[in-house]
Amino acid sequence: MSLLRQVALGVAGLVVLGLSGCANPPGKPGPGPEVVNPDSIADFAVLYKANCAGCHGFDGKGGAAIALGDPVYLAVADDAVLRRVATEGVPGTSMPAFAKSKGGMLTEKQVEIIAHGIREKWAKPDVLRGADPPPYAATTAGNSSRGADVYTIFCASCHGIAGKGGKASSIVNGSFLALMSDQELRTIVIVGRPELGAPDWRGNVPGKSMSAQDVSDVVAWLASQRAQFPGEPYPQTDKSTGGTR
């Protein structure tokens, strides 16, 4: 066989291969409507259920994490908060970053659809009826020693002396505090967890709302209870047991 013939046969073979099996191998379904590009999902209900419901609850409440469907929460936290936290997550907690730009799975547009959808579905514009809540983000530094007094006035009736638990659970437990950012503590003090019976800033003591400074101070006090080595089963800096830290 001449070299030319060999090359010609080879080319013919490649053409035959190309025209037959390879484009559509037997048994392999062609592209159909069931193949959805995850980036093209634009339905709020689908996106929320797949990404948020597991922690924040199917109906925006009833999950382990704060109820995003609580209208009081939505009156205190604006769209920028929803968008930013969903985009970046909260480092050091179990709140993941969802935006692709931060290593997540959602496009910027999908984050926007979720943030917008949460508000559209669950916000109630007149829920505060003129009440003026403390600002979402702290504007003044908290004073933890004043915060101890604020705690006694507003919180001890349910969370017990020094936060160690009573009618409601301990909020100074080292592992608990290690899982929550200061902002999350602040958010919960302001909006409560209504689905669990935790009051908002107006409801701890009948007729006595917490001021913005009260909120900052009690959060500073809670933050001062953080354990240096959360999760360790033995006490720290306890001279009576010969501890060395």
Residue 86 touching ligand HEC (CB under 6 A): yes
What distance in Å separates the CA atoms of residue 216 and residue 222, rounded to the nearest whole number?
A: 10
- If the CB atoms of residues 49 and 245 are measured against ligand HEC, the closer one turns out to be 49
In which residue are the tokens 């953080």 written?
A: 226
Stretch 40-69 residues interacting with ligand HEC (CB under 6 A): 51-52, 54-56, 65-66, 68
Please state the φ and ψ torsions of residue 24, each to the nearest 5 degrees: -150, 75
Burial class (CB in 10 A: 0-12, 13-18, 19+), 243: exposed
Determine which residue in the list 97, 155, 172, 220 makes contact with ligand HEC, applying CB under 6 A.
Answer: 155
Q: Under the phi-then-psi rule, with left for phi > 0, alpha for psi from -120 to 50, and beta for the rest, what region is 233?
A: alpha
At 11, list the tokens. 């080319």
Determine which residue in the list 171, 172, 190, 220 makes contact with ligand HEC, applying CB under 6 A.
Answer: 171
What's the min distance (Å) between Cβ of 132 and ligand HEC?
17
What distance in Å separates the CA atoms of residue 176 and residue 233, rounded to the nearest whole number?
A: 14
What's the min distance (Å) between Cβ of 85 and ligand HEC?
4
Stretch 173-202 residues interacting with ligand HEC (CB under 6 A): 180-181, 183-185, 187-189, 193, 196-199
Residues 6+ apart with CB under 8 A from 151: 162, 163, 218, 221, 222
Determine which residue in the list 101, 139, 157, 175 makes contact with ligand HEC, applying CB under 6 A.
Answer: 157
What's the min distance (Å) between Cβ of 183 and ligand HEC?
5
Burial class (CB in 10 A: 0-12, 13-18, 19+), 195: middle
Determine which residue in the list 41, 93, 138, 212 makes contact with ligand HEC, applying CB under 6 A.
Answer: 93
What's the min distance (Å) between Cβ of 29 and ligand HEC?
31
For residue 21, give Cα distances in angstroms to 16, 88, 197: 9, 46, 64
Chain residues binding ligand HEC by CB under 6 A are: 51-52, 54-56, 65-66, 68, 77, 81-82, 85-86, 90, 93-96, 98, 114, 154-155, 157-159, 168-169, 171, 180-181, 183-185, 187-189, 193, 196-199, 204, 218
